[in-house]
Structure 1
Amino acid sequence: MNLKEVDINIEEWEMVEIPFYTEEELTYRLNNGLPITKSELEEQESKK
């Protein structure tokens, strides 16, 4: 196994809320380019 060192700047992280999806729902959303996170869902709703 190859290990790789990675620097992580925690100050730049943003908390993301992800609604609960079943495996099938999540797979469908990923395969069809649908929003997954709460902020993506809100952004899509505001465009309507």
Structure 2
Amino acid sequence: MKLKRSLEEAVCILLILAKEEGDNAVKSYWISQQLGVSDSYLKNDIT
């Protein structure tokens, strides 16, 4: 089964957020760096 890239990215984002301890905010630019995508793409993709 082939997954869409956006679904794969969403799962990765959920894993990043789940791994974060405490009430620390995770910045979108940090997530975009981890995924290797631009920050503007990430913001457009999740809205």
Larger Rg: 1
- Could you state the TM-score of these two structures normalised by the residue count of structure 2? 0.28
